Amino acid sequence: MIRIRILGSAAGGGLPQWNCLCANCAAARNGEIAPQTQSSVAVSADNQHWFLVNASPDLPRQIESTPALQPHPGSLRNSPIAGVLLTNADLDHTLGLLLLRQQQTPVLVYASDATRSALDWLELLLHPFGGSTWRTASGDFNSLSNGLAFRAIELHKSNAFQLRDEVSGQAALIAPVVGELTAELRDAVDTSDVILFDGTFWNDDELRAVRRGARSAREMNHLPISDSSLALLRHSPARRKIYVHINNTNPILMPGSRERALVQQAGIEIACDGLEIIL
């Protein structure tokens, strides 16, 4: 049995974002919609060893709101967090690694070679504080811990991860940064029981409405929902399909919006912090 816990469901900046007064950020400050922390997912097959997919700058808060990630009785200093899988080197996915430095054992990090070399500076910062052990995430299934296997799916400038329960064979796809739909990713969408997918932007030009000259969704390596992943996920046979890594400008966050209704009509859920999925 695999437990998947969404620690943070928002894209970089969170909801609300400190310098943003878009409709969603205003509604989050008014208490009309729930604030959300930055994207990270925790996974465990034994409820003892937890692996994070991305470590956000909000990790301290996320640990304090998740008892399973807190130190267990038996010794004064310990952590159930056994390692971190990185989709890419973005700051909102990696700054949480700096929190994991006050320990005797090195932090275990799985990433592509490109992600590791982009994070040289972070590796140097961790070095005097217990350090870090880096492993290249393989494209073939490998055991991660008791009963949990995983593989990396290489995409344009990012990885997605497919996790598999080694007992039941059930699989989950965790893909918060998707800039292209490859054959391998489509295959993983068709062969996973649960899918957590890139829900960053609704439209390609969404950010330009709040900031003139902003890059498009595709330029930021996120396929927009409306003309890409909505159709893909609608037709996927997965039991649960959930948008994660949702940017604060995305209209699917607003209750009663047309866009939110379209997502729900397609059988896709919209993640929120603390959501737990059992596979």
Residues in contact with Zn ion by CB under 5 A are: 11-12, 17, 20, 22, 25, 90, 92, 248
Residue located via tokens 């737990």: 276
Closer residue to Zn ion in complex, CB, 145/203: 203
SS (H, E, C) 53-70: ECCCCCHHHHHHCCHHHC
Closer residue to Zn ion in complex, CB, 62/248: 248
Closer residue to Zn ion in complex, CB, 43/45: 43
Closer residue to Zn ion in complex, CB, 90/193: 90
Question: What is the C-alpha separation between 58 and 37, in angstroms, rounded?
Answer: 6
* 53, 56, 78, 96, 152 from 91: Cα distances, Å: 14, 8, 26, 9, 20
Question: What is the C-alpha separation between 51 and 70, in angstroms, rounded?
Answer: 13
Question: What is the C-alpha separation between 116 and 5, in angstroms, rounded?
Answer: 25
Minimum separation from the CB atom of position 199 to Zn ion (A): 11
Minimum separation from the CB atom of position 176 to Zn ion (A): 7
Minimum separation from the CB atom of position 23 to Zn ion (A): 8
Question: What is the C-alpha separation between 193 and 111, in angstroms, rounded?
Answer: 24
Minimum separation from the CB atom of position 218 to Zn ion (A): 15
Minimum separation from the CB atom of position 74 to Zn ion (A): 35
Closer residue to Zn ion in complex, CB, 13/130: 13
